[in-house]
A and B are shown apart, each in its own frame.
Chain A
Amino acid sequence: MAVNIKINGKAIQAEDGKTILQVAKEHNVRIPTLCYHKDLNPTGNCRMCVVDVNGWRISPAACVTPVWEGMEIETDSEKVMKDRKLTLELMLANHPQDCLTCDVAGECELQDLAYEYKAEVPAWGAKGTRYKVDSDPNPFIRVDMNKCILCRRCESACAEIQVRDVWGVAKRGFDEVMVAGAGVPMLEARCESCGQCVAYCPTGALSNKMSYGMARAHQVKKVTTTCSYCGVGCQFDLLVKDNKVIGVHSNSEAPVNGMALCVKGRYGYDFIHHPDRLVRPKVRRYLLEGGGKPVSSDQLSVISDRLSVSSDQLSVTSDQLSVTSGPWDWVEVEWEKALDIVADKFADTRSEFGADTTGFLASAKCLNEENYLINKLARQVMGTNNIDHCARL
């Protein structure tokens, strides 16, 4: 069923049951929002999206008010523009004035609206003085409730998307504050650090601890990629500054996961530039030099324990035990060389002991095609069914 309404004088046939905001959006009329997010159930808390409706005593919030037959809506009358500006100023009165150093400046919805509406920061109010900064020990999520505007998106995201129900509202009136569980640290309130709350927070109240202070929004290049951790195929944006990945942001256009990510996808990116990360193949020195497998220092100590003798009584030369240059050293080699060694070892083992003495473990970090190929390698080239995959665990 359709209802006839007018938005800013333009006659519109709208679908019954839709909200003013939905209909306005369909007709390219922008209404500002803060607590509203398309992924979450609307709550009507912030009152940024108030509009004028002809004949109404109050200005309804567009995000939660359904359209009715005959409604005449003004989305940018002088009155509602003034009211939105004032509502913003009430928020800013209690919001720290630290955009200069705030981590989310440049991608903060409150900042954008305050700028758009030319809001003036009132001289009164509690500006960043009410709560401890960085108040939660969660290793990934930085909490600064001074910046919270009580839109409650974190609560909705946690309840509706992650279904963990960590965040909630405590106290009332001016003292109202978001809390985890019964006012405990997030992890104690069953938080699994997925960071959904951070992704949906329109301000810097919840931000990412790992990338805190590392880059301004305009300094990063966003590179959309697919998560390498498991087979779901979530997409997100890598934040790249000076050719380094400094963080991960949700990409609302991601087809599989939308804004949702797990703790590994969102925060498990530090392996990328980790000094311990292998970027080229390495092989043991003795494999390059030929000859048999020497006794390692670890094995040596096990043997000496069993024999109840000290290791120097065993006849091994000191360079065999040396940590810095010995047969057990890792030596960086070309891919060709490394693959040759692996292939040779596989071939030897297969011919001497049979194909079923070899096995293959495939990785979720590989593409589907790569996993298919390793399956071919195992079954058809090697001739064994000993193949498994880490995502099966």
Chain B
Amino acid sequence: MTNKHIIHKPISPEILEFANNHEGSREAALEVLKDIQAHHSALTTDSVTDAARALKLPPHQLYGMATFYSMLSFEERKKVLRVCDGPVCWLKRGSEQLSVDSGQLSVERTSCLGLCDRAPAILVDDEQAGPIEANEAGKVCEGWRGAPMDYSKARKGEVRVMTALIGKIDPDSIDDALANGVYGGLKSALQQEPIAVLSEVEASGLQGRGGAGFPVGRKGRFVANEKRTPRYIICNADESEPLIFKDRVLMDTNPHQLLEGMTIAGYACGASEAWIYIRGEYEYQARRLENAIEGAKSKNLLGENILGSGFSFDIHVHRGAGAYICGEETALIESLEGKRGEPRLRPPYPPTYGFRGQPTAVNNVESFCAVPHILKNGAEWWKSLSGYKTPGTKMYMVLGHVKKPGLFEAPFGLTLRQIVKEFGGGMLKGSKFKFALCGGAAGTITDESLLDVPIDFSSGQKGVSLGAGAFLICDQNVSPVAMLRELLHFFAVESCGKCTPCRVGTWRSLEILDRMTAGKGQKGDVEELKILADLMQVSSFCGLGQSVGIPMKSALAYFGAEFEKAES
């Protein structure tokens, strides 16, 4: 028998206060853990247990969270310098490692920071910085952070709708936003019946911009048709997929456009409250959004009885703490409820059973940002923006070995060739197109044979996925084996671990690819990768595991010879 007596200790008054600051809400578990970490530079078993007791939750739940989110730590840290491990930063950085005097900073590797246009990028506590060369670490300690990329000037061929006001307004000024017509869509919406607003969005054919392309209007109608109230709106701003940073730019340059879109969605769906779930690494953007919310409230564009319409709506900002899986909408909801960000069983889907079990519409930042323009100018106008079968415009990101990497807005139906040549300014001098990673980390890898496929939500079946609209262009010097290794490293680190195929499959695939890139491949490696890709694609619990097979299978299909060469 154990002789250790369990002594009852009172909860630390400090932790009780942290909990009370959030009304002891169980949903605030992540905030309480972050508060503890901020005050003590690390979590401990005792502090996590105390937090659980203060929130009346089982300690394993808080410990499960504390060990789940990558920004929480049980190790004492100083100022934390997070070095991005994303594929774009990897491509830019090469094999050189950032060397930092560890006397001043705690250095960590981290999954993609969403700063691909500032690659190689870093995060210094919550300050975004880049691009930084490997030998320039010293200037970080002196306060250097670099500057975000300037998108105020449109590229040739761009059709700017959501990005129209970049550089033309002060994003922190509500007056500037109002003077430039932001909230015009909301005013127009409030003069119509909610059902008419939904019909307009449906008629526009707007598809979800997170990658799946589900019709935004139809999702809204599912929520509006649910009888139960309250209904909720959630904005998925957990942009954690490598290559993707469009939502950050949208929130950074025109936060009011997002708030407006969400408020219209709330009106149309009969929702009363909304949350923006923003990844923890976007602290700067989170503050900007909070400031914008205050601004909107001061003009009665949010809050009680908006513009005298009788409609009341509130938006909250919720910060994540480092977990790619929280971009999966049900995992996001779990996280928002103060749990580990693990995907839920579906069905029921969020429109029926979402946040707090209530009807919830979860949409991507870009989807919400498109809505005000549709309401302001009409569905027909939105359709007319595109000469292609998919209506409207889309944010694209072109990265890698092109002359002008970055972000642009254009209609659907672009080809890779157009993206590289017309928008990306062509390949870098001395670079020849070898392959592109399309859509995001979970997209296809394709060679030059598919340069002329028009890209839309269904072109993934032809081998060029749209995903969230990012294209990483790689030249003759990049090995697809090494690229795939980077992607699998990301998936293995970010797999939540819930289901067997993804938990072990990503790890095993990474092990094989590690070996192949180190020149120690073995006979049968390629075959095993194929088998694992197949299994993960059909057997995994959620979209994360199911999509790991996409880059694996396409890379093996187009560059099979290189993989086979790496076997020996």
Contact = CB atoms under 8 A, between A and B. Distances in A.
Contact of B63 (A42, A45, A183): A183
Given A57-B538, A90-B508, A171 B68 contact: yes
Nearest to A84: B539
Interface string A16-49: 0000000000000000000000000011111100
Contacts of B45: 182-184
A170 B64 contact: yes
Interface in A242-272: none
13 contacts: A46-B499, A66-B347, A83-B534, A91-B504, A138-B2, A139-B1, A167-B60, A172-B497, A173-B493, A173-B506, A176-B503, A179-B63, A182-B48
Contacts of B325: 172
B380 interface: no
B112 to A, nearest CB: 16
Contact of A169 (B1, B340, B492, B500): B340
Interface in B1-53: 1-2, 4, 6, 45-46, 48-49, 52
A64 interface: yes
Contact of B507 (A64, A66, A79, A173): A173
Interface in B539-560: 539-541, 546
Range class of the B interface residue count: 35 or more
A98 interface: no
A54 to B, nearest CB: 14
Contact of A44 (B62, B64, B345, B495): B345
Q: Which of A83, A91, A165, A168 has the most CB of B within 10 A?
A: A168
Interface of B: 1-2, 4, 6, 45-46, 48-49, 52, 58-64, 66-68, 323, 325, 340, 345, 347, 492-501, 503-508, 511, 531, 534-535, 537-541, 546
Contact of A179 (B52, B60, B498): B60
A199 interface: no
A145 interface: no
State the 3 A-B residue pairs at the shortest beta-carbon distance, nearest first.
Answer: A168-B60, A176-B497, A165-B58
A45 B500 contact: yes
A121 interface: no
Nearest to A152: B498
Given A50-B538, A93-B504, A183-B45, A173 B494 contact: yes
A83 B535 contact: yes
B345 A170 contact: no
B501 A90 contact: yes
B85 to A, nearest CB: 14
B460 to A, nearest CB: 12
Nearest to A47: B539
A137 interface: yes
B526 to A, nearest CB: 16
Contacts of A83: 534-535, 538-539
A8 to B, nearest CB: 19
Q: Which of B52, B345, B534 has the most CB of A within 10 A?
A: B345
Contacts of A86: 531, 535
Q: Which of A61, A94, A155, A173 has the most CB of B within 10 A?
A: A173
Contacts of A168: 58-61, 63-64
B497 A169 contact: yes
Nearest to B531: A86
A114 interface: no
A224 interface: no
Contacts of B495: 172-174
Contacts of A44: 345, 499, 541
Given A176-B503, A181-B49, A182-B49, A50 B67 contact: no
Given A43-B345, A87-B500, 20 more contacts: A42-B345, A45-B498, A50-B539, A59-B539, A90-B500, A91-B500, A155-B60, A166-B60, A168-B63, A169-B497, A171-B67, A172-B497, A173-B493, A174-B507, A179-B60, A181-B63, A183-B67, A184-B59, A185-B2, A189-B60
A73 interface: no
Contacts of B68: 170-172
Interface in A136-162: 137-139, 149-150, 155, 159
A94 B507 CA distance: 11
Contact of A182 (B62, B492, B504): B62
Contact of A170 (B63, B507, B546): B63
Contacts of B539: 47, 50, 58-59, 83, 87
Contacts of A59: 538-539
A173 B535 contact: no
A86 B527 CA distance: 13
A79 B534 CA distance: 10
A172 B111 CA distance: 14
Contacts of A180: 60
B501 A47 contact: yes
Nearest to A126: B507
Interface string A112-130: 0000000000001100000
A58 B64 contact: no
A188 B3 CA distance: 12
Contacts of A87: 500-501, 535, 539
B64 A169 contact: yes
Contacts of B500: 45-47, 87, 90-91, 149-150
A173 B341 CA distance: 12
A67 B549 CA distance: 27
A57 B507 CA distance: 23
A321 interface: no
A187 interface: yes
A176 B323 CA distance: 14
A189 B59 contact: yes
Contacts of B496: 172-173, 176
Nearest to A93: B504
A312 interface: no
A286 B508 CA distance: 77
Interface string A174-204: 1110011111110111000000000000000
Nearest to B69: A172
Given A50-B538, A170-B67, A187 B4 contact: yes
Contact of B497 (A61, A155, A175, A179): A175
A300 B17 CA distance: 62
Contacts of B499: 44-47
Contacts of A166: 58, 60
Nearest to B52: A182
Contacts of B503: 150, 173-174, 176
A24 B112 CA distance: 44
Nearest to A170: B67
A170 B14 CA distance: 25
A175 to B, nearest CB: 7
Given A47-B541, A87-B539, A181-B63, A139 B504 contact: no
A91 B67 CA distance: 22
Contact of B492 (A79, A159, A173, A188): A173
A31 B342 CA distance: 25
B541 A124 contact: no
A154 to B, nearest CB: 11
Contacts of B497: 150, 169, 171-176
Contacts of A189: 59-60
B49 A174 contact: no
A182 B364 CA distance: 34
Given A124-B508, A174-B503, A176-B503, A58 B538 contact: yes
A57 B539 CA distance: 10
